[in-house]
Structure 1
Amino acid sequence: MQHYHYIFTGTGLAALLTVREMVQHPFYRDKKILLLDTDAKKTNDRTWCFWDEKKQFENIQHKAWEAAVFADTGFERRFAMAPYTYRMMRGLDFYQRTFQELENHSNITIVQEKVVDFQELGNHCLVKTENQSFTCNFIFNSIFNPERLMAQKKFPLVHQHFIGWFVQTETPVFTPDCATFMDFSVPQKGNTRFMYVLPTSEKEALMEYTLFSANLLPREEYESEIKAYLERLGITAYTITETEQGNIPMTCYPFWKHNSERILHIGSAGGWTKASTGYTFKNALKKSKALVNFLPQNNDLRKFHKINRFWFYDLLLIDILYQKNEVGSSIFASMFRQGKVATIFKFLDEETTFLEDLNIILRCPKTLFIKALIRRLF
């Protein structure tokens, strides 16, 4: 039975970001690392977008924007992203570049097999696949188990669910240097619904119909709303070149309580998704860097997670969206109508001071948050 220092059960975004960080850190040069997953990551299964001040993923980005638009019924605001850049990365490009880099490191092994069980056994861990077993010092698990989340009611679940069309038009219609970040001017129908448009040229764009809500829709409803939005833009002649569909859990459920001394849940399985927005890439990147710096000084993975005030802000927002889903557009519009956009993105990155937090929070509908706070306290 082969033994490793670290085993990753699942090779999703969080696992790959963490291993990318490990191979750049001298502490891990002599550590044997195993990645297990049934998926070989050979298809473009998703698109990640994130705002970024640095240029560390510039070499694999598919497109970047320096300006964006936020819209709601009655107003539209175009703004510069500076000091940020809004980046779009195709999943396949990220997978290919990451696995190419990992091939250069002899201490890393990748096995394409299904994990069927893993457990902590005193001073080591055991991982079983359908064909073999491995032991290790620590497990990093990104296989999501929804049963724990669905079995409780204290921390509600709001889904960020969407269908996207990559469309190509016959005539130039898009503004390629400006992304539509959120357009809430679409009919809300008792939910929090918006269009998300990422133009890659004057004739090509990703058109994504997105909801933050407790319940999913039939596929036809997402697609009919995309068609209606295209018609509103005056686009009648187009080709759908690719489609994507996703469902991201937005919840403040304390996944970290299931961590043990030698097993850490990461990615969606560990609550690494930013609950209030559903954004995954940037949050997972920050968590992976923190984890790689944590391990050389710590042998107890239960100490990794720390609650901060932003978790509580997210908790109140998710409570509101779950109880009164139709008010979501008014909350986001209150922030973007006049607020400093750079500070808003800084706030969403959990990097603001408390005074900057207050400046943003006080722009939001106060009664909604006071009632949510009272429900949580009492």
Structure 2
Amino acid sequence: MKQYDYIFAGTGLSALMTVYKMVLSKKFQTKRILLLDVNAKQTNDRTWCFWDQKESLWEPSVSKKWNSVVFANSDFTKNLDLHPYHYNKIQGLDFYNQVLNLIAKQKNIDFVQEKILELEESDSIVLVKTESQSFSCTTLFNSIYNPSLATNQTKYPLLQQHFLGWFIQTETPIFNSEQATFMDFSVEQKGNTRFMYILPTSPTEALLEYTLFSKELLSKEEYEAEIEKYLQQLGIAQYNIIEKEVGTIPMTCYPFWKHNTKNVINIGTAGGWTKASTGFTFKNANKKSSELVSFMETHTDGRTFHSKTKFWWYDLLLLDILDQKNETGSAIFSALFEKGNAPLILKFLDEETSFWEDLQVIWKCPKGLFINALLKRLFRF
């Protein structure tokens, strides 16, 4: 049995961010580290977007930036100047290559491509069994999501951000490559929160995604029918589909961190690192991975790795509303962006605003919905 100081069970976004920063810190060079995943991370399987004011650690992976975006619904279209922010696009394979190229140079880090079958924890070690061998470690970082934790309870609502996207190439120039479509709620809502998302990379190329915040997923045919209808509305008749991507992200304030133990820390979606109210993952994971690396330098008990903030409560109220009245999502986001200050909203979504700034954002929302949600939530705790 091979022994390690740290094992990462699953090598998704959060795990790779964390181990990358461990390497850069140069404070874990004497520690043996193992990455375990059935997926070798050698395909372009997803797209991440995030906004930032300056170049980030992940700049080598950024393939496109936009300084402005469009927000729209059936009643209005608004061009939003994001300054001082930039909206960044990262393709999965570029990110994987940036991280794995650095990891491959480290003598103290191994990557084993095998399926994890079982985890066993004792007082001092964690045993990990795969299809062909076993490993042990002092600390395990688990990013394997267990959906039953959130589904087998009723205290915290659970929605899904689910989507299907086409990266298309048109015969004639149609897109403004310098402006992304952040949310377009002009699509039929059908009792849900539904919008289109467009990331143009050239006048003839763009990623279009049909996205929902709701409880139930759709069939593949339903997503694709809506994309086809939207393309017709844009006047796009001739195009080629270059790539497709599909995914679902749980949106919940369920306290996954309560399942941390002395030797096991849940990270990523499994640790509640996804921004619950929007499903945005990249920026949140970037912050939490930095916090985790700093934590490991001085702490050994995984049960103490968490801090609940005011933004957790804000997210919970929005999810309470969308759980009971899913069709109100368009009205809530439209109220924010029609009258609100876009950079301030982004700062709020990044959880970096003061309480006074919070009020400036929240006050733009439909007040009755949030007051009712607050009153009902107080009786649930």
Question: After TM superposition, is the score higher than 0.5?
Answer: yes
Kindly report which structure 2 residues correspond to 1:205-224, keeping only aligned pairs within 5 A, or say none.
Answer: 205-224=206-225
Mapped to 1, the partners of 2:149 and 2:219 lie a distance apart of: 26
Percent identical pairs in the alignment equals 58
Q: CA deviation at 1:189?
A: 1.0
Mapped to 1, the partners of 2:121 and 2:342 lie a distance apart of: 45
1:139 aligns with 2:113: no
Kindly report which structure 2 residues correspond to 1:185-224, keeping only aligned pairs within 5 A, or say none.
Answer: 185-224=186-225
Query: Structure 1, residues 47-105: CA drift from partner, whole Å, max 9, x if none?
Result: 11111123122222121111101111211111222111111111111112211111111
Mapped to 2, the partners of 1:351 and 1:219 lie a distance apart of: 37
Kindly report which structure 2 residues correspond to 1:117-136, keeping only aligned pairs within 5 A, or say none.
Answer: 117-136=118-137
SS of the residue 1:315 aligns to: helix
SS of the residue 1:317 aligns to: helix
Q: Which amino acid aligns with 1:332?
A: F
Mapped to 2, the partners of 1:333 and 1:302 lie a distance apart of: 39
Question: Where does structure 1 differ by over 4 angstroms across 4 or more consecutive aligned residues?
Answer: none
1:32 aligns with 2:32: yes
Q: Which amino acid aligns with 1:52?
A: D
User: What's 2:9 paired with?
Assistant: 9
Query: Structure 1, residues 19-53: CA drift from partner, whole Å, max 9, x if none?
Result: 01000113211111100011111111111111112
Kindly report which structure 2 residues correspond to 1:124-273, keeping only aligned pairs within 5 A, or say none.
Answer: 124-273=125-274
Query: Structure 1, residues 325-357: CA drift from partner, whole Å, max 9, x if none?
Result: 000011111111121111100100100000100
RMSD of aligned C-alpha atoms? Answer: 0.9
Mapped to 2, the partners of 1:98 and 1:254 lie a distance apart of: 29
Q: Which range moves more in the overlay, 198-207 or 148-157?
A: 148-157
SS of the residue 2:83 aligns to: coil
SS of the residue 2:24 aligns to: coil
Gaps of 5+ in 2: none
User: What's 1:93 paired with?
Assistant: 94
Q: CA deviation at 1:216?
A: 1.0
For these two proteins, the number of residue pairs brought into alignment is 378
SS of the residue 1:313 aligns to: helix
Q: Which amino acid aligns with 1:15?
A: A
User: What's 1:112 paired with?
Assistant: 113
Q: Which amino acid aligns with 2:232?
A: E
**TM-score normalised over the length of structure 2:** 0.98
Q: Which amino acid aligns with 2:226?
A: E
Q: CA deviation at 1:16?
A: 0.2
1:54 aligns with 2:17: no
Checking the alignment, whether the CA contact within 8 Å between 2:257 and 2:266 is kept in structure 1 is: yes
Checking the alignment, whether the CA contact within 8 Å between 2:60 and 2:98 is kept in structure 1 is: no
Query: Structure 1, residues 221-241: CA drift from partner, whole Å, max 9, x if none?
Result: 111111111111111111111
Q: Which amino acid aligns with 2:334?
A: A
User: What's 2:369 paired with?
Assistant: 368
User: What's 1:20 paired with?
Assistant: 20
Gaps of 5+ in 1: none
User: What's 2:378 paired with?
Assistant: 377
User: What's 1:334 paired with?
Assistant: 335
Mapped to 1, the partners of 2:248 and 2:26 lie a distance apart of: 37
User: What's 2:45 paired with?
Assistant: 45
Checking the alignment, whether the CA contact within 8 Å between 2:339 and 2:364 is kept in structure 1 is: no
Kindly report which structure 2 residues correspond to 1:69-80, keeping only aligned pairs within 5 A, or say none.
Answer: 69-80=70-81
Q: Which amino acid aligns with 1:20?
A: Y
Q: CA deviation at 1:123?
A: 1.6
Mapped to 1, the partners of 2:219 and 2:157 lie a distance apart of: 22
1:64 aligns with 2:99: no
Q: Which range moves more in the overlay, 51-60 or 297-306?
A: 51-60
SS of the residue 1:135 aligns to: strand
Mapped to 1, the partners of 2:8 and 2:173 lie a distance apart of: 46
Mapped to 2, the partners of 1:334 and 1:302 lie a distance apart of: 39
Q: Which amino acid aligns with 1:218?
A: S
SS of the residue 2:224 aligns to: helix
Q: Which amino acid aligns with 2:275?
A: K
Mapped to 1, the partners of 2:188 and 2:151 lie a distance apart of: 29
Mapped to 2, the partners of 1:219 and 1:110 lie a distance apart of: 34
Checking the alignment, whether the CA contact within 8 Å between 2:167 and 2:241 is kept in structure 1 is: yes
SS of the residue 2:284 aligns to: helix
Mapped to 2, the partners of 1:171 and 1:276 lie a distance apart of: 37
Q: Which amino acid aligns with 1:9?
A: A
SS of the residue 1:350 aligns to: coil
Q: CA deviation at 1:120?
A: 2.0
Q: CA deviation at 1:217?
A: 1.1
